[in-house]
Amino acid sequence: MNESIFDLTGQVAIVTGTSRGLGQYFARALAKAGADLVLTSRKRETLAPFEAEMKALGRRTLTLELDVRNHESIQKMAADAVAAFGQIHILVNNAGCNIRKPALDVTWDDWNTILDTNLRGSFFVAQAVARGMIEKGYGRIINIGSVTSVAGYAGLAPYGASRGGIRQLTMSLADDWGKFGVTVNCLAPGWFRTEQNKVLYENKEWLDYLVDRIPVKRPGQPHDLDGAVVFLASEASRYVTGQTLLVDGGISTGATRATVPAKSA
């Protein structure tokens, strides 16, 4: 296979939510494939160390403030990115949040915070960036979902609803914008340690239970996502749209690790 179909040299990628966590890994993978970057966070100053790292790779890098719960902030970010680079080729819709609670304890405000950030925010960021992509006749939009896009977990009702919504949103936008040369896909990580869930990984009993349910027998490592995000951002995926790509070690198969009794003689 010609490796040039994975080459992102000369392309510009917006990656939202890059002050920490998986957003930085997505941005780093795209940068190593050749893309220049627009990095966003609610507090622009938090991006300074990562901005320096990306510039050290030789990539043009712009940092912008973005609050995905604020429509004016979204519009300004998209306009500033286009003003700086002329064209945006790739969007990784990564900014998100979670509040882990039993369903009976979820408040009205909890629900609104999660859905407004993860689902409404993703839609309006995609909408704002897609306008320019449609004008140019080219774009790659990657919405970040989760294994909770396809499976339910206790304590994650609003989060799962938002990520399930991302999967449905991806399909709708793919149908809307495919004729304009814009593909829209969902990258859905499984269980990866992040700032949001690190307390779980400190519980050995829980971690052993998790690993037992993952067919490849380990949680995800951030570099496990590199190939998937570059694939979806590149010409390699030109005929792929509306899809949810699970990178989860197989946990979404629903397999359990029950011991099978030996057959009697």
Domains of the chain: 7-250 (3.40.50.720)
Longest dimension (CA), the chain: 75
Is pLDDT at 255 greater than 80 in this prediction? no
Task: Compute CA distances 140 → 1, 54, 65, 110, 150, whole Å.
Answer: 21, 21, 22, 31, 22
pLDDT tens sequence across 10-65 = 999 999 999 988 999 999 999 999 999 999 999 999 999 999 999 999 999 999 99
Is pLDDT at 259 greater than 70 in this prediction? no
CA 253 to chain centre: 21
**What length does the chain have?**
265
- The enclosing H or E element of 247 equals strand 244-247
The pLDDT confidence band at residue 265, using thresholds 50, 70 and 90, is very low
Q: Which of 25, 138, 159, 209 is catalytic?
A: 159
CB neighbourhood size of 20 (10 A)? 14
Tokens representing 55?
């510039």
Quick one: pLDDT at residue 129? 98
Active site residue 201: no
